[in-house]
Structure 1
Amino acid sequence: MSVPNIIVVAGSSGAGKTTWVCQQMRDIADVEQIIYFSPGTGTVPIDQSRITTEFPGIQVFSDGQEVEFLNQIPKAEAVYIELGFYLQLEAIAQILDNLTYRAIAVLPPDFKDSEYHSWANEIVRGAPTQSSTAETLWRAASNGQVIDENSLEEFWYEITHGAYGIVTRAKGIFDVNDGRSLYCDFVAGVAHTDFLELDLPRYLEGRPQRFSGLEVVGENLDEATLRQTLSDCCLSDVAILQYQQQVKEILLEGEKV
């Protein structure tokens, strides 16, 4: 049995770890057995959900699936493991035991002499992020919730303009009122990008039965207000059904044209 190519990717928050992994996956699109694992994301697997959507043929594993992941390694041709900035680099030894892997660190251009430099086999130049040692991480799952898109845009503007603390990184997946699932991404110091619509069918039958959630990294985060504002953006059952009925009528009219 051939030994799979195991790549472990680590680096600072927002530097572009997931972006780098996705590019590698596109480059080896002809490889049949690819698996991806990102430990430590708990109930807010934003990157796993994004990768599952973009690469439906890839096996993606989250927390609680470590045994299944390890069992699939011998069957895979390529294995990608992404370590969040909040995990110790030594954690990978516990996950992989004695398996050989290649260590890749994705770091900002001015990031020097860090633990990543001594750990990695290769340093990849990432985005010029503005991270600090005082950062904290806040997460919230919002499965089953639907957000009015205008409210989401206002909320995202507040997040990225200091209303809840000094935010250096924010990302999320949200179901909006017209049935689409949107991926939102912000890195302080990096040019703004619009919301990305995920390649998923519109959900127009009640509350969505798929993942949604938010992750924010920064200093002096007002977590209570973040949570309350996110809750305030969510629509009631009645409003969801009204929006969904309107969208279905619009789509039906479009089919008749």
Structure 2
Amino acid sequence: MKVLNITVVGGLAGSGKTTWICQQMQNLTASENIIYFSPGTGNVPIDQTRLAAEFPHVQVFQDGQEVEFLHQLTTAETVYIELGFYLELSSIHKILDGLSYQALAILPPKLQDSEYHAWADKIIKGADIDPNITANKLWRVPSSGQVIDEDSLREFWYEVTHGAYGFVSRAKGIFDVADGRVLYADFVAGVPTIDFLELDLPRHLEGRPQRFSGIEVLGENLDESTMRQTLEDCYLSETAIAQYQQQVRQILIEETIE
């Protein structure tokens, strides 16, 4: 019987679970049969979308694809399962139905004697976040099909991460911007902020994009209605989308001629 190489990764929000998994995948060859599954993300699969773009050879599964995921386990060489902080650690038993795995926890250095320590076979030092933050509200909104002006997006993201809508400990999102690119945004309180990351996806310059985009925010006392309205105000109209796309297509044609 084939012995499966399954690693289940858990940890606090923003501790670096997805980052660690990406680092491991960079060390694997494209010829290997690799699987990634992160249950519980519902209709806002931000990490799955990012990994699928960065590692096109990896089979990425999300909620609603449990049957396909279990079927592919029989042939996979390497499997990573990421448990979001919102899931019970014991939920992995239901997912894997008795299969053996290595439990790995990505934890901030200051966290001691947690449930993760009792659960994990191995502890990896993650981001130096404050383990005492007790954010109690998770706000998720899909925005698939919407296109956003990049300047407006940057202003909105600054407001989100600087307390305009309540205290935010973790925020991430994927957005289609007016020039056809897809940007990934990531914020963790107490960790140096990085600029938006452009995902390696084809530019979309023909109408509304038929691919996932969305945002996830974790915090306290979040003003969800105002945050939602501000985000919606960033969405471009059909006319504006068409104008931007026409301009970008013309620029790309001119660059090709030169």
Q: TM-score by structure 1 length?
A: 0.98
Distance, in Å, in 2 between the alignment partners of 1:19 and 1:211 is 20
Question: What secondary structure is seen at the aligned counterpart in 1 of 2:103?
Answer: strand
Tell me if structure 1 keeps the 8 A contact 2:149–2:177: yes
Q: In the aligned structure 1, how far is the partner of 2:186 from the partner of 2:158?
A: 12
User: C-alpha offsets along residues 115-174 of structure 1, whole Å, 9 cap, x if unaligned?
Assistant: 000000011100012352342211000000000000000000000100011001100000
Matched, 1:138 2:150: no
- Tell me the percent identity: 67
Residue correspondence of structure 1 range 115-194 to structure 2 within 5 A:
115-130=115-130, 132-194=133-195
Paired residue type of 2:15: A
Measured against aligned partners, the alpha-carbon deviations of 1:62-103 in whole angstroms (never above 9, x if no partner) come to 000111101111110011000000000011011001100000
Give the whole-Å Cα distance in 1 for the aligned partners of 2:139 and 2:30: 37
Query: In 2, are the aligned partners of 1:104 and 1:123 still within 8 Å (CA)?
Result: yes
**How far, CA to CA, are the matches of 2:184 and 2:219 in structure 1?**
19
Letter in 2 for 1:169: R
Deviations 1:3-57 (A, max 9, x none): 1200000000000000001111111225511101000000000000000000101
Aligned residue number for residue 75 of structure 2: 75
Query: Contact 1:137 / 1:216 at 8 angstroms: preserved in 2?
Result: yes
Q: Does structure 2 retain, via aligned residues, the 8 Å contact 1:130–1:168?
A: no
Contact 2:135 2:218 in 1 (8 A): no
Provide structure 2 residue ranges, at least 5 long, that are not aligned to the other structure.
none
Deviations 1:195-253 (A, max 9, x none): 00000111000000111000001111111111111111000000000000000111111
Give the corresponding residue for 1:203: 204
> Is the contact between residue 135 and residue 169 of structure 2 (CA under 8 Å) also seen in structure 1?
no
Report which stretch shifted further, 224-233 or 129-138.
129-138
Q: CA RMSD in A?
A: 1.0
SS, match of residue 47 in structure 2 = helix
Equivalent in the alignment of 2:92: 92
Distance 1:87 1:40 in 2: 7
Match of 2:46 in 1: 46
Q: Does 1:234 align with 2:235?
A: yes
> Amino acid of the residue matched to residue 150 of structure 2?
E
Q: TM-score, normalised by structure 2?
A: 0.98
Inter-partner Cα distance in structure 1 for 2:31 and 2:171: 32
Contact 1:38 1:61 in 2 (8 A): yes
CA distance in 2, matches of 1:134, 1:53: 29
Instruction: Give 1:97-112 correspondences, 5 Å limit.
Output: 97-112=97-112
DSSP-derived class of the 1:109 partner:
coil
Indicate if the aligned counterparts of 2:110 and 2:130 stay in contact, CA closer than 8 A: no
Whole-angstrom CA distance in 1 between matches of 2:216 and 2:26: 25
Runs of 4 or more above 3 Å deviation = none
Q: Which residue of the partner structure matches residue 25 of structure 1?
A: 25
Runs of at least 5 residues in structure 1 that lack an aligned partner in the other structure: none
State the one-letter code of the partner of 1:180.
R
> Residues of 1 paired with 2:135 and 2:235: CA distance?
31
Paired residues of 1:170 and 1:185 also in contact (CA < 8 A): yes
Q: Is the 8 A contact 1:8 1:103 kept in 2?
A: yes
**Which whole-Å CA distance do the structure 2 matches of 1:237 and 1:43 have between them?**
24
**CA distance in 1: counterparts of 2:223 and 2:84, whole angstroms:** 22
Greater alpha carbon shift after TM alignment, 114-123 vs 25-34: 25-34
d(CA) in 1 for partners of 2:193, 2:30: 32
Alpha carbons 1:52, 1:58 under 8 Å: kept: yes
